[in-house]
Structure 1
Amino acid sequence: MAGEGLEARGRTKPRRRCSPCAGEATEHPGDKVRQDLAAGLPRFLWPADVTQLSVPAGKPCLSPVPDCSGGSIVSWATSTSPSAEMANSTPEAAIRLTKPGERAHLVVRSDCGCHHRWPGWISICEEAGVIRSMSRKGSPPDNSRMGGLFGTMKNGMSCGRDWEGVSLEGLGKRIDDYIEWHDTKRIRRSLGSMGPLAYRQSLTLAA
Protein backbone atom coordinates (compact mmCIF):
# COMPACT_ATOMS: atom_id res chain seq x y z
CA MET A 1 0.00 0.00 0.00
CA ALA A 2 2.79 2.39 0.86
CA GLY A 3 4.45 1.81 -2.52
CA GLU A 4 1.29 2.82 -4.37
CA GLY A 5 0.72 5.89 -2.23
CA LEU A 6 -2.25 4.37 -0.40
CA GLU A 7 -3.05 4.67 3.25
CA ALA A 8 -5.53 2.93 5.52
CA ARG A 9 -8.37 5.00 6.83
CA GLY A 10 -11.01 4.22 9.39
CA ARG A 11 -12.89 5.52 12.33
CA THR A 12 -11.09 5.21 15.62
CA LYS A 13 -13.36 4.47 18.52
CA PRO A 14 -12.65 6.59 21.57
CA ARG A 15 -11.40 4.64 24.54
CA ARG A 16 -13.98 4.28 27.24
CA ARG A 17 -12.65 4.55 30.73
CA CYS A 18 -14.04 2.12 33.23
CA SER A 19 -14.25 3.64 36.67
CA PRO A 20 -15.82 2.45 39.95
CA CYS A 21 -16.57 6.11 40.60
CA ALA A 22 -19.04 6.32 37.72
CA GLY A 23 -22.53 7.41 38.53
CA GLU A 24 -21.67 10.12 41.06
CA ALA A 25 -25.04 11.58 41.90
CA THR A 26 -24.22 13.73 44.91
CA GLU A 27 -21.64 16.18 46.18
CA HIS A 28 -18.40 14.88 47.68
CA PRO A 29 -18.66 15.27 51.49
CA GLY A 30 -14.92 15.84 51.90
CA ASP A 31 -12.15 13.70 53.35
CA LYS A 32 -12.35 14.56 57.03
CA VAL A 33 -9.67 12.08 58.13
CA ARG A 34 -7.41 12.06 55.04
CA GLN A 35 -4.92 9.20 55.44
CA ASP A 36 -5.06 9.15 59.25
CA LEU A 37 -6.97 5.88 59.66
CA ALA A 38 -6.03 5.29 63.29
CA ALA A 39 -8.51 5.48 66.14
CA GLY A 40 -7.71 5.23 69.83
CA LEU A 41 -11.15 4.01 70.88
CA PRO A 42 -13.81 1.85 69.21
CA ARG A 43 -16.71 3.43 67.34
CA PHE A 44 -14.80 6.52 66.28
CA LEU A 45 -13.81 5.60 62.72
CA TRP A 46 -15.29 2.98 60.41
CA PRO A 47 -13.96 2.60 56.84
CA ALA A 48 -16.18 0.96 54.23
CA ASP A 49 -15.63 -0.53 50.79
CA VAL A 50 -16.70 -3.35 48.47
CA THR A 51 -14.49 -6.08 46.97
CA GLN A 52 -15.07 -8.98 44.62
CA LEU A 53 -13.99 -12.56 45.26
CA SER A 54 -13.27 -15.00 42.46
CA VAL A 55 -13.97 -18.73 42.88
CA PRO A 56 -15.02 -21.42 40.37
CA ALA A 57 -18.66 -21.05 41.44
CA GLY A 58 -18.77 -17.34 40.61
CA LYS A 59 -17.58 -13.88 41.62
CA PRO A 60 -19.50 -12.79 44.71
CA CYS A 61 -18.96 -9.43 46.40
CA LEU A 62 -18.16 -8.65 50.01
CA SER A 63 -18.94 -5.42 51.88
CA PRO A 64 -17.43 -5.24 55.41
CA VAL A 65 -17.30 -2.38 57.92
CA PRO A 66 -14.27 -2.74 60.22
CA ASP A 67 -13.49 -0.66 63.28
CA CYS A 68 -10.15 1.15 62.99
CA SER A 69 -9.58 0.64 66.72
CA GLY A 70 -8.49 -2.97 67.03
CA GLY A 71 -9.49 -3.96 63.51
CA SER A 72 -12.56 -6.03 64.37
CA ILE A 73 -15.21 -6.27 61.65
CA VAL A 74 -18.40 -4.70 62.97
CA SER A 75 -20.70 -5.93 60.20
CA TRP A 76 -20.48 -7.47 56.74
CA ALA A 77 -22.64 -8.65 53.88
CA THR A 78 -22.15 -10.71 50.71
CA SER A 79 -24.00 -10.66 47.42
CA THR A 80 -23.72 -12.17 43.95
CA SER A 81 -23.38 -8.61 42.56
CA PRO A 82 -22.21 -5.25 43.98
CA SER A 83 -25.72 -4.01 44.73
CA ALA A 84 -26.77 -0.96 46.70
CA GLU A 85 -28.78 -3.23 49.00
CA MET A 86 -25.61 -5.05 50.01
CA ALA A 87 -23.60 -1.84 50.47
CA ASN A 88 -26.36 -0.20 52.53
CA SER A 89 -26.99 -3.19 54.78
CA THR A 90 -23.54 -3.09 56.40
CA PRO A 91 -23.67 0.43 57.90
CA GLU A 92 -27.28 -0.16 58.95
CA ALA A 93 -26.32 -3.29 60.89
CA ALA A 94 -23.22 -1.65 62.37
CA ILE A 95 -25.02 1.51 63.47
CA ARG A 96 -27.64 -0.57 65.30
CA LEU A 97 -24.85 -1.71 67.63
CA THR A 98 -24.05 1.85 68.74
CA LYS A 99 -25.63 4.16 71.29
CA PRO A 100 -27.00 7.61 70.34
CA GLY A 101 -24.17 9.35 72.20
CA GLU A 102 -21.52 7.40 70.26
CA ARG A 103 -22.93 8.36 66.87
CA ALA A 104 -22.22 12.07 67.32
CA HIS A 105 -18.46 11.53 66.85
CA LEU A 106 -18.56 8.39 64.68
CA VAL A 107 -17.05 8.84 61.20
CA VAL A 108 -17.99 6.45 58.39
CA ARG A 109 -15.35 6.78 55.69
CA SER A 110 -15.84 5.32 52.23
CA ASP A 111 -14.22 5.57 48.83
CA CYS A 112 -15.76 7.48 45.93
CA GLY A 113 -17.72 4.46 44.69
CA CYS A 114 -21.20 5.21 43.41
CA HIS A 115 -22.85 3.04 46.11
CA HIS A 116 -21.55 5.46 48.74
CA ARG A 117 -22.99 8.49 46.94
CA TRP A 118 -26.50 7.24 46.30
CA PRO A 119 -29.42 8.58 48.37
CA GLY A 120 -29.83 5.34 50.33
CA TRP A 121 -26.32 5.42 51.81
CA ILE A 122 -26.54 9.14 52.55
CA SER A 123 -29.91 8.87 54.29
CA ILE A 124 -28.66 6.02 56.51
CA CYS A 125 -25.80 8.19 57.76
CA GLU A 126 -27.89 11.34 58.12
CA GLU A 127 -30.73 9.64 59.99
CA ALA A 128 -28.25 8.04 62.40
CA GLY A 129 -26.38 11.31 62.89
CA VAL A 130 -22.97 9.90 61.94
CA ILE A 131 -20.34 11.85 60.02
CA ARG A 132 -19.72 11.00 56.36
CA SER A 133 -16.18 11.13 55.02
CA MET A 134 -14.91 10.10 51.59
CA SER A 135 -11.46 9.55 50.14
CA ARG A 136 -10.15 11.57 47.23
CA LYS A 137 -11.18 10.39 43.80
CA GLY A 138 -8.61 8.19 42.09
CA SER A 139 -6.31 7.96 45.14
CA PRO A 140 -5.94 4.29 46.19
CA PRO A 141 -3.53 5.07 49.09
CA ASP A 142 -6.37 6.94 50.81
CA ASN A 143 -8.20 3.65 51.18
CA SER A 144 -5.21 1.53 52.13
CA ARG A 145 -6.85 0.30 55.34
CA MET A 146 -9.53 -1.52 53.38
CA GLY A 147 -7.04 -2.70 50.77
CA GLY A 148 -4.95 -4.28 53.51
CA LEU A 149 -8.00 -5.96 55.05
CA PHE A 150 -9.10 -7.39 51.70
CA GLY A 151 -5.59 -8.64 50.90
CA THR A 152 -5.20 -10.32 54.28
CA MET A 153 -8.64 -11.88 54.06
CA LYS A 154 -8.18 -13.24 50.54
CA ASN A 155 -4.76 -14.68 51.36
CA GLY A 156 -6.00 -16.18 54.60
CA MET A 157 -9.01 -17.80 53.01
CA SER A 158 -7.32 -18.99 49.82
CA CYS A 159 -3.86 -20.17 50.91
CA GLY A 160 -3.71 -23.96 50.73
CA ARG A 161 -7.45 -24.31 50.08
CA ASP A 162 -9.24 -25.83 47.11
CA TRP A 163 -12.37 -23.99 45.95
CA GLU A 164 -13.50 -26.63 43.47
CA GLY A 165 -17.00 -27.81 44.32
CA VAL A 166 -17.60 -24.99 46.82
CA SER A 167 -20.95 -23.30 46.18
CA LEU A 168 -21.63 -19.62 46.75
CA GLU A 169 -23.53 -20.59 49.90
CA GLY A 170 -20.50 -22.57 51.07
CA LEU A 171 -18.27 -19.59 50.34
CA GLY A 172 -20.53 -17.39 52.48
CA LYS A 173 -20.09 -19.85 55.36
CA ARG A 174 -16.31 -19.76 54.93
CA ILE A 175 -16.37 -15.95 54.99
CA ASP A 176 -18.39 -16.00 58.24
CA ASP A 177 -15.96 -18.48 59.79
CA TYR A 178 -12.93 -16.44 58.70
CA ILE A 179 -14.32 -13.20 60.12
CA GLU A 180 -15.09 -14.91 63.43
CA TRP A 181 -11.48 -16.15 63.55
CA HIS A 182 -10.20 -12.72 62.48
CA ASP A 183 -12.09 -10.98 65.29
CA THR A 184 -11.44 -13.45 68.10
CA LYS A 185 -8.22 -15.39 67.49
CA ARG A 186 -5.99 -13.63 64.94
CA ILE A 187 -2.98 -12.23 66.80
CA ARG A 188 -1.72 -8.77 65.86
CA ARG A 189 1.55 -7.21 67.03
CA SER A 190 0.01 -3.74 66.87
CA LEU A 191 -2.44 -4.87 69.57
CA GLY A 192 0.24 -6.15 71.91
CA SER A 193 0.16 -9.68 70.45
CA MET A 194 -3.56 -9.97 71.13
CA GLY A 195 -6.59 -10.49 68.96
CA PRO A 196 -9.21 -7.71 68.52
CA LEU A 197 -11.55 -9.22 71.12
CA ALA A 198 -8.82 -9.72 73.74
CA TYR A 199 -7.58 -6.19 73.04
CA ARG A 200 -11.00 -4.70 73.69
CA GLN A 201 -11.36 -6.82 76.81
CA SER A 202 -8.02 -5.48 78.05
CA LEU A 203 -9.48 -1.98 77.72
CA THR A 204 -12.64 -3.11 79.53
CA LEU A 205 -14.60 -2.30 76.38
CA ALA A 206 -15.98 -5.84 75.86
CA ALA A 207 -17.26 -8.60 78.10
Structure 2
Amino acid sequence: IMQMEGLQCRVKVKKRKATGQPTHIAEHLLKRQFQADEPMQKLVTDITYLPFGGKTLYLSSILDLFNGEIVAYSIADKQDTSFVLDTLHQLPDRPGMMLHSDQGSVYTSQAYQDAVKGKGITMSMSRKGTPADNAPIESFHSTLKSETFYLEELTCTTTAIVEQTVRDYINYYNSIRIQTKLNNQSPIDFRRLAA
Protein backbone atom coordinates (compact mmCIF):
# COMPACT_ATOMS: atom_id res chain seq x y z
CA ILE A 1 0.00 0.00 0.00
CA MET A 2 2.81 2.42 0.90
CA GLN A 3 4.51 1.78 -2.45
CA MET A 4 1.32 2.53 -4.32
CA GLU A 5 0.98 5.80 -2.42
CA GLY A 6 4.69 6.66 -2.92
CA LEU A 7 5.35 6.69 0.81
CA GLN A 8 8.46 5.54 2.62
CA CYS A 9 8.89 4.82 6.28
CA ARG A 10 11.51 6.59 8.32
CA VAL A 11 14.11 4.35 9.83
CA LYS A 12 16.59 5.31 12.50
CA VAL A 13 20.02 4.30 11.29
CA LYS A 14 22.19 2.72 13.95
CA LYS A 15 25.58 4.29 14.37
CA ARG A 16 28.37 1.82 14.40
CA LYS A 17 31.21 2.20 16.80
CA ALA A 18 34.66 1.65 15.38
CA THR A 19 35.92 -1.60 16.84
CA GLY A 20 39.09 -2.05 14.85
CA GLN A 21 42.51 -0.82 15.84
CA PRO A 22 43.84 2.37 14.26
CA THR A 23 46.43 1.41 11.68
CA HIS A 24 49.45 3.33 12.96
CA ILE A 25 49.77 2.65 16.70
CA ALA A 26 53.40 2.80 17.81
CA GLU A 27 54.75 0.65 20.62
CA HIS A 28 54.81 2.11 24.15
CA LEU A 29 58.59 2.57 24.23
CA LEU A 30 58.81 5.39 26.78
CA LYS A 31 57.28 3.23 29.55
CA ARG A 32 57.04 6.22 31.90
CA GLN A 33 60.82 6.68 31.91
CA PHE A 34 60.52 10.46 32.08
CA GLN A 35 64.25 11.20 32.41
CA ALA A 36 66.68 11.92 29.59
CA ASP A 37 70.48 12.08 29.69
CA GLU A 38 70.78 14.84 27.10
CA PRO A 39 68.66 17.47 25.34
CA MET A 40 66.37 16.38 22.50
CA GLN A 41 66.72 12.69 23.37
CA LYS A 42 63.17 12.04 24.66
CA LEU A 43 60.25 14.32 23.86
CA VAL A 44 56.55 14.18 24.73
CA THR A 45 53.69 15.84 22.87
CA ASP A 46 49.98 16.42 23.32
CA ILE A 47 47.13 18.80 22.53
CA THR A 48 45.09 20.78 25.04
CA TYR A 49 42.12 23.06 24.60
CA LEU A 50 42.17 26.75 25.51
CA PRO A 51 38.60 27.88 26.28
CA PHE A 52 37.80 31.59 26.28
CA GLY A 53 34.69 33.69 25.75
CA GLY A 54 32.56 30.83 24.43
CA LYS A 55 35.25 29.85 21.93
CA THR A 56 38.08 27.33 21.96
CA LEU A 57 41.60 27.31 20.59
CA TYR A 58 43.95 24.34 20.69
CA LEU A 59 47.59 24.18 21.76
CA SER A 60 49.90 21.48 20.44
CA SER A 61 53.19 21.42 22.31
CA ILE A 62 56.33 19.31 22.55
CA LEU A 63 58.27 19.08 25.82
CA ASP A 64 61.89 17.91 26.19
CA LEU A 65 62.19 15.43 29.08
CA PHE A 66 65.81 16.46 29.71
CA ASN A 67 64.85 19.80 31.22
CA GLY A 68 61.08 20.24 30.81
CA GLU A 69 61.54 22.90 28.13
CA ILE A 70 58.81 23.49 25.57
CA VAL A 71 60.79 23.09 22.34
CA ALA A 72 57.91 23.48 19.86
CA TYR A 73 54.28 24.57 19.90
CA SER A 74 51.42 25.69 17.67
CA ILE A 75 48.02 27.25 18.32
CA ALA A 76 45.03 26.70 16.03
CA ASP A 77 41.25 26.87 16.01
CA LYS A 78 40.86 23.19 15.06
CA GLN A 79 42.57 19.92 15.83
CA ASP A 80 43.74 18.37 12.62
CA THR A 81 46.84 16.72 11.24
CA SER A 82 48.24 19.91 9.69
CA PHE A 83 48.07 21.52 13.13
CA VAL A 84 50.30 18.90 14.78
CA LEU A 85 52.54 18.81 11.70
CA ASP A 86 53.19 22.54 12.20
CA THR A 87 54.47 21.70 15.68
CA LEU A 88 56.50 18.69 14.52
CA HIS A 89 58.21 20.64 11.74
CA GLN A 90 59.71 23.00 14.34
CA LEU A 91 61.93 20.15 15.56
CA PRO A 92 65.37 19.59 14.06
CA ASP A 93 66.02 16.42 12.08
CA ARG A 94 67.77 14.28 14.66
CA PRO A 95 67.91 10.53 14.11
CA GLY A 96 67.41 8.52 17.27
CA MET A 97 65.25 11.11 19.03
CA MET A 98 62.12 9.60 20.64
CA LEU A 99 58.75 11.38 20.46
CA HIS A 100 55.95 10.10 22.69
CA SER A 101 52.25 10.90 22.22
CA ASP A 102 48.84 9.49 23.00
CA GLN A 103 46.86 7.48 20.44
CA GLY A 104 44.88 10.45 19.14
CA SER A 105 43.82 10.32 15.50
CA VAL A 106 46.16 13.16 14.52
CA TYR A 107 49.15 11.18 15.82
CA THR A 108 48.08 7.89 14.23
CA SER A 109 47.45 9.47 10.82
CA GLN A 110 49.58 8.37 7.90
CA ALA A 111 50.75 11.94 7.22
CA TYR A 112 52.01 12.38 10.79
CA GLN A 113 53.70 8.98 10.85
CA ASP A 114 55.45 9.72 7.54
CA ALA A 115 56.68 13.10 8.81
CA VAL A 116 58.02 11.55 12.03
CA LYS A 117 59.89 8.88 10.08
CA GLY A 118 61.17 11.50 7.64
CA LYS A 119 62.86 13.30 10.53
CA GLY A 120 64.46 10.08 11.78
CA ILE A 121 62.39 10.19 14.97
CA THR A 122 61.34 7.04 16.82
CA MET A 123 57.64 7.22 17.73
CA SER A 124 56.26 5.95 21.05
CA MET A 125 52.61 5.98 22.10
CA SER A 126 50.77 5.73 25.39
CA ARG A 127 48.53 2.81 26.07
CA LYS A 128 44.92 3.58 25.21
CA GLY A 129 43.12 5.56 27.91
CA THR A 130 46.25 6.02 30.06
CA PRO A 131 47.08 9.74 30.35
CA ALA A 132 49.66 8.98 33.08
CA ASP A 133 51.84 7.51 30.30
CA ASN A 134 52.22 11.11 29.07
CA ALA A 135 52.23 12.82 32.48
CA PRO A 136 54.91 15.52 31.91
CA ILE A 137 53.09 17.22 29.01
CA GLU A 138 49.71 16.77 30.72
CA SER A 139 51.21 18.47 33.78
CA PHE A 140 52.62 21.35 31.71
CA HIS A 141 49.25 21.98 30.07
CA SER A 142 47.55 21.95 33.48
CA THR A 143 50.13 24.39 34.88
CA LEU A 144 49.79 26.73 31.90
CA LYS A 145 46.02 26.89 32.30
CA SER A 146 46.08 27.28 36.09
CA GLU A 147 48.71 30.04 35.96
CA THR A 148 47.12 31.97 33.08
CA PHE A 149 43.59 31.14 31.96
CA TYR A 150 42.12 30.23 35.35
CA LEU A 151 44.15 32.78 37.31
CA GLU A 152 43.51 35.69 34.96
CA GLU A 153 39.98 34.54 34.07
CA LEU A 154 40.44 34.98 30.33
CA THR A 155 36.77 34.61 29.51
CA CYS A 156 35.94 37.63 27.35
CA THR A 157 38.91 38.15 25.12
CA THR A 158 40.17 37.73 21.57
CA THR A 159 42.09 35.03 19.75
CA ALA A 160 45.08 37.39 19.50
CA ILE A 161 45.13 37.91 23.28
CA VAL A 162 44.95 34.16 23.93
CA GLU A 163 47.80 33.50 21.48
CA GLN A 164 49.93 36.25 23.07
CA THR A 165 49.16 34.93 26.56
CA VAL A 166 50.38 31.45 25.56
CA ARG A 167 53.52 32.83 23.85
CA ASP A 168 54.37 34.95 26.88
CA TYR A 169 53.76 32.08 29.29
CA ILE A 170 55.91 29.60 27.35
CA ASN A 171 58.72 32.16 27.20
CA TYR A 172 58.37 32.71 30.96
CA TYR A 173 58.15 28.96 31.64
CA ASN A 174 61.28 28.18 29.61
CA SER A 175 63.42 31.19 30.57
CA ILE A 176 62.40 32.41 34.03
CA ARG A 177 60.18 30.00 35.98
CA ILE A 178 62.44 27.92 38.22
CA GLN A 179 61.80 24.25 38.89
CA THR A 180 62.92 22.39 41.99
CA LYS A 181 63.79 19.27 39.99
CA LEU A 182 66.21 21.40 37.91
CA ASN A 183 68.17 22.57 40.97
CA ASN A 184 66.03 25.71 41.18
CA GLN A 185 66.86 26.79 37.64
CA SER A 186 64.72 27.51 34.61
CA PRO A 187 64.72 24.88 31.85
CA ILE A 188 66.92 26.99 29.55
CA ASP A 189 69.44 27.77 32.31
CA PHE A 190 69.59 24.08 33.23
CA ARG A 191 70.27 23.10 29.61
CA ARG A 192 72.97 25.76 29.21
CA LEU A 193 74.78 24.70 32.38
CA ALA A 194 74.62 21.03 31.37
CA ALA A 195 76.26 21.72 27.99
Common fold: TM-score over 0.5:
yes
Task: Indicate the residue corresponding to 1:34 in structure 2.
Answer: 31
Task: Indicate the residue corresponding to 1:70 in structure 2.
Answer: 67
Q: Which amino acid aligns with 1:62?
A: L
Counterpart of 1:156 (choices 147, 153, 165) is 147
Task: Indicate the residue corresponding to 2:161 in structure 1.
Answer: 170
**8 Å Cα contact 2:102-2:127 kept in structure 1:** yes
Q: Which amino acid aligns with 1:131?
A: T
Task: Indicate the residue corresponding to 2:126 in structure 1.
Answer: 135
Q: Which amino acid aligns with 1:141?
A: A
Q: Which amino acid aligns with 1:43?
A: M
Higher strand proportion, which one? Answer: 2
Q: Distance in 2 between the 1:27 and 1:160 partners?
A: 39
Task: Indicate the residue corresponding to 1:3 in structure 2.
Answer: none
Q: Distance in 1 between the 2:160 and 2:80 partners?
A: 18
**8 Å Cα contact 1:23-1:114 kept in structure 2:** no
- Does the residue aligned with 1:31 lie in a helix, a strand or coil? coil
Q: Which amino acid aligns with 1:184?
A: S
Counterpart of 2:53 (choices 47, 51, 56) is 56
- Does the residue aligned with 2:129 lie in a helix, a strand or coil? coil
Q: Which amino acid aligns with 1:133?
A: S
| Structure 2 segments unaligned to the other structure (5+ residues) | 1-12
Q: 1:128 to 1:53 in 2, by over 3 A?
A: same
Q: 1:191 to 1:84 in 2, by over 3 A?
A: same
Q: 1:59 to 1:42 in 2, by over 3 A?
A: same
Percent identity between the aligned chains?
21
- Does the residue aligned with 1:149 lie in a helix, a strand or coil? helix
Task: Indicate the residue corresponding to 2:171 in structure 1.
Answer: 180
- Does the residue aligned with 1:54 lie in a helix, a strand or coil? strand
Equivalent residues in 2 for 1:79-90, closer than 5 Å: 79-90=76-87
Task: Indicate the residue corresponding to 1:91 in structure 2.
Answer: 88
Deviates more, 1:175-184 or 1:55-64: 55-64
- TM-score, structure 2 length as denominator? 0.86
Q: Deviations over 1:129-160 (max 9, x none)?
A: 11011111111211111211111110111244
Query: How far off is 1:76 after superposition?
Result: 0.3
Query: How far off is 1:162 after superposition?
Result: 3.6
- Does the residue aligned with 1:78 lie in a helix, a strand or coil? strand
Q: 1:49 to 1:16 in 2, by over 3 A?
A: farther
**8 Å Cα contact 2:24-2:113 kept in structure 1:** no
**8 Å Cα contact 1:65-1:94 kept in structure 2:** no
**8 Å Cα contact 2:24-2:109 kept in structure 1:** no
The reply on whether 1:192 has 2:163 as its aligned counterpart is no
User: How many equivalent residue pairs?
Assistant: 184
The reply on whether 1:113 has 2:99 as its aligned counterpart is no
The CA RMSD measured in Å over matched residues stands at 2.4
| Structure 1 segments unaligned to the other structure (5+ residues) | 1-12
Q: Distance in 1 between the 2:88 and 2:98 partners?
A: 11
Task: Indicate the residue corresponding to 1:44 in structure 2.
Answer: 41
Q: Distance in 1 between the 2:172 and 2:152 partners?
A: 16
Query: How far off is 1:33 after superposition?
Result: 1.3
- TM-score, structure 1 length as denominator? 0.81
